[in-house]
Structure formats: structure tokens, C-alpha cells
Amino acid sequence: QTTSKQKRETTLLYIEDEISESKEEQQSPKVKIQQERENWREVVKKRNPKQTRPVPIKGAMDKFSLTIAEQQSCLFLSGLDPDIEPEEVKEYIDTTFKISSKCEKMKTKKDRFKSSFKVYVPTDSKQQVLNENMWGKGIVINHFLHIRRNFNREVNPVTA
């Protein structure tokens, strides 16, 4: 017996019987169609069971002896003068938003006209840094898109 689920997942598979060409030529088209319909058989679709992955456990202990890593978000900052260094950007972010950040100068196609930076900020402060009123006119700041490219990117990390 098949269950209703199996009935829904059934497909028809055509089985080709070896019929000589001479017999095919002698039969009328209606007989050929009827024979073809009879040569179908019902097949139950074989399905791999869903892979169940254990649900991750998040810690809840308040007093923990190991230090927990701070979650960081990456932001894209562009439109600054090409002579601006990552240290200056880091200093501005740290003093303005009173957070600890990291900054890398990116190598882009428009290096002669403006400079771009990849800025790491704490996830809790991300919305605060994305406030448009805290940045000068013409400065672009947005979420950083991690697109893999084949060219080498010059990185100047500033962490201190």
C-alpha cells in the first residue's frame, strides 16, 4: 500500500519495449498510442531525508572566566581626500563616537580622486556610525559588501 504522500510524489516512467519495426508499420496510430500508454509504470520518487543539524547552544552564564570576542561589523567609507590616512579616519571615529574601531585603506580604481576605507566598528555602535549627520557632505558610508575579486588589494590596517 502506498501512502497519500507517496502518491503525490509518484511519477510515471516510460518503459520502452522492444517492438520490431515491421509490427509498428502494420499497426494503426490509435493502437500505437494505446500500447505506449500501457508501457508506462508507476515509480515512487526516492527522496533523501532532510539532514538535521543540531541547534547551536548560546551561553547564558554571567560570570565566565574566558574573554568573549566583541562582534564587529564592516562599513565602507568613501569620498575622502586621497591624502587622508587610515590613522586619521580611525581617530575621527574613535573620538566622535567614543568607540574602538579599526580602519584599512582600500586600493580602488579612483585612487587619484578620492580614497576609500574599510572600517570595523562594534556591531552595537553600527547604526550610530551610519548616521548621515555625523559625516561631511559628499562622504559615502554604507555596509561593506564582501565581494571576492581576483586583484590584490593594498591593506594598511590600523589597530592601535
Pairing of strands 102-106, 115-122: antiparallel
How far CA 32 is from CA of 16, 17, 156, in Å, comes to 13, 12, 76
Q: Give the pLDDT of the chain (160 residues) as one tens digit per residue.
A: 556 555 544 444 444 444 444 455 566 677 777 777 777 777 777 777 777 788 889 888 888 888 888 899 999 999 999 999 999 999 999 999 999 999 999 988 877 889 999 999 999 999 999 999 999 999 999 999 877 665 555 555 565 5
Beta-carbon contacts of 10 under 8 Å, excluding residues fewer than 6 positions away, are 2, 42, 43, 44, 45
Correct CATH for 72-143 of 3.30.70.330, 3.40.1010.10, 3.40.50.720, 1.20.1530.20: 3.30.70.330
pTM (predicted TM-score): 0.55
pLDDT of res. 69: 86
Please name the amino acid found at residue 100.
S
pLDDT of res. 67: 86
pLDDT of res. 88: 95
pLDDT of res. 140: 94
Please check whether residue 67 is in contact with residue 79, taking contact to mean a CB–CB distance below 8 angstroms: no
> Domain segments of the chain: what residues?
4-44, 72-143
